Structure 1
């Protein structure tokens, strides 16, 4: 959260950043332009709610069992 606050402060002073991340927290930076890179190398701008890390995090939090069952062998 401190990094997010500092980035917001610096952006307000005219700084620009290129950040590669899977963090939904960093993707929430106000005014951020989110660009996703597909497996074939194509890029597309997306909004926060449609960004893959955000969707995956929300899906996981809504139903962790459907993700964990693939990792944990509890038969």
Structure 2
């Protein structure tokens, strides 16, 4: 997906994408917006909720799975 996106960008295309994918969000020079209390706000990649959750999961996936599967 990201390679196809990149090829289209090189062709001059622009995209508006809604995603939770940390890989797509990391596309170089992407302008990222998050929905916050005050509406849409521009944020840096490493300040996104998606990045934070993914990082937390990868750093300690067993603890995160425990939390996610609590009854």
Same fold (TM over 0.5): yes
1:44 aligns with 2:36: no
Q: Distance in 2 between matches of 1:21 and 1:6?
A: 16
1:4 aligns with 2:2: yes
2:42 partner SS? strand
1:60 aligns with 2:67: no
- CA RMSD for the aligned pairs? 1.6
Q: TM-score, normalised by structure 2?
A: 0.83
Cα distance, 1:41 vs structure 2: 6.2
- Counterpart residue number, 2:26: 28
Cα distance, 1:43 vs structure 2: 0.8
**Count of aligned positions:** 70
Q: Distance in 2 between matches of 1:62 and 1:52?
A: 15
For the 8 Å contact 1:8–1:30, the answer to whether it is kept is no
Structure 2 residue ranges without an equivalent (≥5): none
**Displacement over 6 Å in runs of 4+:** none
Cα distance, 1:45 vs structure 2: 0.7
